[in-house]
Amino acid sequence: MPTLQFAEIRSAALAALKQVDVPEAFAIEQVDLLLEAELRGVPSHGLLRLERIVRRIRNGVANPNTEGKHTWRQQSFLEVDGERGLGPVVANHALNALMERASASGIALAAIKNSNHIGMLGWYVERCAAVGFSTIALSTSEALVHPWGARQAMIGTNPIAIGVPTGGKPFMMDTATSVVSMGEIHDHALRNVPIPDHWALDENGSPTTDAHAAKKGAIAPFGQAKGYALGLAFELIVASLSGTAIGRDVRGTLDEDQVCNKGDIFIVIKGPHRDLQGYLDAIRSTAPAEGFGAVLIPGERGRACREQRLTDGIPIADEVWRKLQDLASAAA
Amino acid sequence: MPTLQFAEIRSAALAALKQVDVPEAFAIEQVDLLLEAELRGVPSHGLLRLERIVRRIRNGVANPNTEGKHTWRQQSFLEVDGERGLGPVVANHALNALMERASASGIALAAIKNSNHIGMLGWYVERCAAVGFSTIALSTSEALVHPWGARQAMIGTNPIAIGVPTGGKPFMMDTATSVVSMGEIHDHALRNVPIPDHWALDENGSPTTDAHAAKKGAIAPFGQAKGYALGLAFELIVASLSGTAIGRDVRGTLDEDQVCNKGDIFIVIKGPHRDLQGYLDAIRSTAPAEGFGAVLIPGERGRACREQRLTDGIPIADEVWRKLQDLASAAA
């Protein structure tokens, strides 16, 4: 696996998007989102996704030339028709409008439909928290998760991210409501190693440790009934507010030719924020339990990884780097 | 355990609050909140709490005569000083203001400090969803939960509730971010039965199956690192927006003489809501997994229990009913 410098990868990724006529400013937003995932050690949301984005543009289900149509439905409720735009381009435009509005009104919400995959939610909420806004982000996805006690996938992996200003570096957490990502299961299948028995069901709805069988089945919600309740609540509130597809009707974040009909919600809050560093320091300095080296704050391992990789380079899977170079030279 | 009619219990509970000069309208809000928990089979948030409320009023840390001071900090951000008022009285007043404001602006938030325990969060979000508002409720509590990988309680049980209009009965979920409530651990201790080994640590931070040891220790977050990240995010965002105490400084929901310094956040959204019944029906009718009799929608078991208990009566623990009668006759 080659280790490459940030600037070199970024140039190649920008070149790849230039080949399909993405305006430079929009290409930068898309590439920086993917690279941020690579920097933080989340390759499932990184450059792996670039080929699909390129193909979706070629297939007409992603439109590289729009930020979407943003309409204030009410004073603090922004209705966004993404017009099939690139996920981060549409989302960033919405967030900029939300931060301006929340500065005046205290809180503002965007409900986004008809936009492509927005990637790692943590990127957005951290950006807002860094300039003084608490932010909650919710998103839906294809149905990959089974209701607790059911046999079949009916719910998206529906992630939540929360960012909070702290007086120092912002707090940021970002997690799917599935016990594990489908990417992780694919990775186990690729390596032919078994998965833990509580991760997934096979296509008949029976628990399985076979990653290949799990790929055709359903992933468990995290935390059993509680994570199911949360994932379902996110499915309902996102679909309801954004007017997007629900459950098994969701398409377009895992394929190359379907219009993306999932939804995204951002809630941005301008509050009387305060210094939370003392409390976070107290958690960091508490004694770790047996088997743990340290007590971690969510998001901070990724941030440390980011610092290190900006200096030392980013390890990229051979196949991903080769494909990226092909895309950059239009050979793909 | 006697089974008593709703009306009889309600009269006794109202009489108990009359003994400490709670105005009737406020007493009804407080009692209906507690009774709603009894109806739905959540006695830990029910009448068990009434004696503590009475004592807190007697001790001057709960003020039965105020709805709190509600100030619009910005257009859609309601700052609430509960003035030591009863939790549901202060919260209901805030919610009424939020629903009115959100109808105009799309979304509104209340940040509540200096208010007493607000009980079962689901009660509030269901009420809002029933009249067309999606609602997110967050609350903090005394530090009872350990960070994932730590030995010591540093975080509240920090519940979340989400309500969504569905076109039929509202969707409502309500869960703590701890794997189990401290009430459940106390119940095991009382019955001298062991707890599962992943529920709690003892006071030295070692896993324990001894409920008595767990009472002095820390409860695990639900869903391991993911539930920890959520619980911590709620601790931070609630404390930050409401200006309330954080971590091990929180007091006043489990004692009789400390000013209650936890915080509550409500976010109320007036969106383009739609019919979600078809999707919920599809989940209800999907085949249950082995060991499950049916696939449940969160909140619906409680609602069925409520219907049944309104007709057949509510089983109340002997001790709780005896105490309630004492409080009603001022013998306590």
Are the C-beta atoms of A317 and A47 separated by less than 8 Å?
A: no
Instruction: Report pLDDT for A1.
Output: 85
How far A212 CA lies from chain B's nearest CA (Å)? Answer: 20
Give the structural domain span for B243: 3-178+221-276+313-331
Do the domain assignments include residue B194?
no
A169: distance to nearest CA of chain B, Å? 14
pLDDT in tens, B204-243: 999 999 999 999 999 999 999 999 999 999 999 999 999 9
Residue B331 is given by DSSP the state: -
Q: Please answer yes or no on whether B229 and A276 come within 8 Å at the CB atom.
A: no
Which tens digits make up the pLDDT trace of A259-278? 999 999 999 999 998 999 99
Interface touch B164/A237, C-beta < 8 Å: yes
CB atoms inside a 10 Å sphere around CB B82: 29
Give the tokens for residue B10: 């309600």
Asked if residue B137 is part of any domain, the answer here is yes
Is position A48 within any domain? yes
Residue B73 falls inside a structural domain: yes
pLDDT in tens, A84-132: 999 999 999 999 999 999 999 999 999 999 999 999 999 999 999 999 9
Rounded distance between C-alpha atoms, residue A21 and residue A193, angstroms = 41
- Range in A280-289, B74-83, B183-192 with the lowest mean pLDDT: B183-192
Cα B103 from chain centroid (whole Å): 25
Read off the pLDDT of residues B50-73 as tens digits, 9 standing for 90 and up: 999 999 999 999 999 999 999 999
Residue B208, strand partner residues: none
What's the rounded Cα separation, in Å, for the pair B20 and B18? 5
pLDDT tens for B303-329 read 999 999 999 999 999 999 999 999 999
| Minimum distance, in Å, between the CA of residue A318 and any CA atom of chain B | 31
Q: Is A283 exposed, middle or buried (0-12, 13-18, 19+ CB in 10 A)?
A: buried
The DSSP result for A298-332, as a single string, is: TTHHHHHHHHHHHHH-EE--HHHHHHHHHHHTT--
Q: Which residues make beta-bridge pairs with B107?
A: B269
Looking at the complex, report in whole angstroms how far the Cα of residue A56 sits from the nearest Cα belonging to chain B: 28
- Percent of chain B past pLDDT 70, that is, above it, reads 99
% of chain A with per-residue pLDDT over 70:
99
Report residue B331's pLDDT band, with 50, 70 and 90 as the boundaries: low
Report whether B150 contacts B169 (CB < 8 A).
Answer: no
Minimum CA–CA partner of A233 in chain B: B162
Q: What is the pLDDT, as a whole number, of residue A8?
A: 97
**CATH number of the domain where residue B228 is located:** 3.30.1370.60
**Maximum C-alpha span of chain A:** 54
Mean pLDDT over all residues of chain B? Answer: 96
If we measure between CA atoms, which residue out of B151, B215, B320 comes closest to residue A291? B151
Cα angle A179, A224, A246 (rounded to 5 degrees) comes to 70
The number of folded domains in chain B is: 1
Tell me which chain A residues have a C-beta less than 8 angstroms from the C-beta of B233.
162, 164, 171, 173, 298
Residues in A touching B179 (Cβ below 8 Å): 223
Least confident of A5-9, A40-44, B132-136, B277-281: A40-44
Chain B from 292 to 331: CB within 8 A of any A CB: 292, 294-298
Complex ipTM? 0.97
A128-132 own/partner pairs: CB under 8 Å, 24+ apart: A128/A95, A128/A99, A128/A163, A128/A268, A129/A163, A129/A164, A129/A165, A129/A166, A129/A170, A129/A171, A129/A172, A130/A165, A130/A169, A130/A170, A131/A99, A132/A165, A132/A270, A132/A273
Average pLDDT score over residue span B253-275: 96
Q: Is the dihedral of CA B242, B243, B248, B252 positive or negative?
A: negative
Using the Cβ of B112 and the Cβ atoms of chain A, whether some distance falls under 8 Å is answered with no
The β-bridge partners of B71 are B79
Does residue B259 lie within any of the structural domains? yes
Would the CB atoms of B298 and A233 count as touching at under 8 Å?
yes
Q: What is the pLDDT of residues A131-186, one digit of tens each?
A: 999 999 999 999 999 999 999 999 999 999 999 999 999 999 999 999 998 888 98
Q: Is the Cβ pair A286, B154 closer than 8 Å?
A: yes
Any domain includes A207 = no
User: How many residue pairs from chains A and B have C-beta atoms closer than 8 A?
Assistant: 249
**Residue pLDDT, tens place only, B16-30:** 999 999 999 999 999
Q: What share of chain A in percent tops pLDDT 90?
A: 95
For residue B239, give how far its alpha carbon lies from the nearest alpha carbon of chain A (Å): 9
Pick the range with the lowest mean pLDDT from A114-118, A231-235, B190-194: B190-194
Identify whether A308 is part of a domain: no
**What is the pLDDT confidence band of residue A331, given thresholds at 50, 70 and 90?**
low
Under an 8 A CB cutoff, do A147 and B109 touch? no
Whether the CB-CB separation of B213 and B203 falls below 8 Å is answered with yes
Query: Residue B184: what pLDDT?
Result: 87
Separation CA A130–CA B2 (nearest Å): 56
- Of all residues in chain A, the one with the smallest CA distance to B109 is A107
Residue B304 lies inside a defined structural domain of this protein:
no
Q: What is the pLDDT, as a whole number, of residue B190?
A: 85
Q: Which residues pair with A115 in a beta bridge?
A: A85
